[in-house]
Amino acid sequence: MKVLTTHTLPREAQDLLKGRVGLVDAQGSRERVSELIGEAEILIAGFMRIDSSLLDRAQRLRLIVSRSSGVDHIDVEEAEKRGICVANQPEAIAEAVSEHVVGLVIASLRRIVEGHSYTITGRWASEKGFLRGVTVRGKTIGILGMGRIGVLAAWKLRALGARRILYYSRRRKKEVEQLLHAEPASLERIFRESDVIIAALPHTRETAGLVDYKLLSTMKEGALLVNVGRGSLVNTEDLARIIRERSDVRVALDVHPEEPLPPDHPLAELAHTGRIILTPHHAGGTDRSLRETALLAARQVLHYIETGTVWNPVNRVCREARDIPGLWGPLEE
């Protein structure tokens, strides 16, 4: 079976596929993808836009596997119209993103970025006491989206002493409630009662603009909002307004409404307040997570070839695997 990859796979993934598929590497070139996709039956997609112009040329394509948890770069609806299964690979990325969440929470609550600025600009002696932060211990954590990232972030923050976990999800997660003593809650309650709010929802029609001024205005005093889901979740004009109106609110964002974020964006311009931490959508991008994700994508390809099923289906064309095989094989450091 002919497999086309938009970007070069790590050695472990190449070795797994070698001799079992006809592997063709487009090396990150959209022109090469356009030339080669007509013969491909499976596409392993990095962060290249897979739109109708490419799908028009994909006469034999049956499966697209994203090398990430996100599928924003793939026209999933168009693929479904053409009978093409789309699957993603969120396992390793979720672990990396949850670590980034913890980093953003601690950096914000303990005012680490501000402390760095104070130190290098010589304000140590006169204003050091002004940077007194707060601890995670005893805090209430509200999580929007109790999927892989939400669960892992909640578990890590529990280990740091968080007192309560409130969560908002499409369905009850009773196993999470038992494991983490988490409690389902409405959006309104989460914003009203949480010291830290973590947005980890995907982009959908229902979630776009979900966090608006009405919700933001109810945040408790000193609350922190962290967004590692998608930039579309939060109305950034409303968020900028809240930051201007309330000197107690803090924000940490890894995802943005425009990427790259323009330097003249209101949130970037408000960074001087010291209450905003902005990172460039790289929460999931560790060396290990990217290697593991590519390896798992290759395994999902082989599973599809052998069984006609995938274990992370995104659209309705896919046949979902009944049993998920052992995912985590040895990976060299």
Residues annotated catalytic, as ranges: 230, 259, 281
Phi first, then psi: give them for residue 212, nearest 5 degrees.
Answer: -120, -175
Q: What's the rounded Cα separation, in Å, for the pair 174 and 162?
A: 19
Q: What's the rounded Cα separation, in Å, for the pair 282 and 331?
A: 22
Contacts of 19 (CB under 8 A, 6+ apart): none
Nearest to 253 by CA among 236, 228, 272, 216: 228
Long-range CB contacts (< 8 A, 24+ apart) of 213-218? Answer: 213/238, 213/241, 213/242, 215/187, 215/188, 215/191, 216/191, 216/242, 216/249, 217/242, 218/188, 218/191, 218/192
- Tell me which residue has tokens 């989206």: 145
Q: What's the rounded Cα separation, in Å, for the pair 220 and 194?
A: 7
Six-digit token pair at 250?
């803090």
Inter-residue contact 311 to 303 (CB < 8 Å): yes
- Tell me which residue has tokens 């913890």: 102
* 218: Cα within 13 Å, side-chain hemisphere: 14
What are the start-end ranges of the E strands in 244-327?
250-253, 276-278
| C-alpha separations of 206 from 55, 70, 191, 246 in Å | 26, 17, 18, 28
